[in-house]
Amino acid sequence: MDEKLYNKVMSGKSDHNIRFKDFEKLIVQLGFCLLNQTGSHSTYAIPGVYAHITINPDGNKAHGYQVKKLRNFIRKNGLGK
């Protein structure tokens, strides 16, 4: 897992300054699987966890609210480190 990116997401200080490709890569590294893709929107879920996250790029960056949603999901479900 990209620990530098993980720490950046978990700090909450750079929510609007995370490259989308890196954000999507982290999601996969955390164990999420792609469920569906419609246009620029991709929906990911973790097998056995009743929740999902839908992401789409904001230019070449991740949306800040999506980064926050992932951070909350990580904390709630004990993912990562």
pLDDT recorded at residue 51? 84
Residue 80 in this model has a pLDDT that exceeds 80: no
- pLDDT tens for residues 13-59? 999 999 999 999 999 999 999 999 999 999 999 988 888 999 999 99
Q: What is the pLDDT of residue 25?
A: 96
Q: Say whether pLDDT at 81 is over 70.
A: no
Query: b vs e for 46-77, b when ≥16 Cβ sit within 10 Å of the residue's Cβ?
Result: beeeeeebebebeeebbbeebbeebbebbeee
Quote the tokens at residue 14: 């750079």
CA-closest candidate to residue 79, choices 56, 57, 47: 47
| 57 neighbors 16 (Cβ within 8 angstroms) | no
The domain limits of the chain are 3-77
- pTM of the full predicted structure? 0.90
Range 3-77 classified under CATH 3.90.1010.10: no
Question: Can you give the pLDDT at residue 62?
Answer: 96
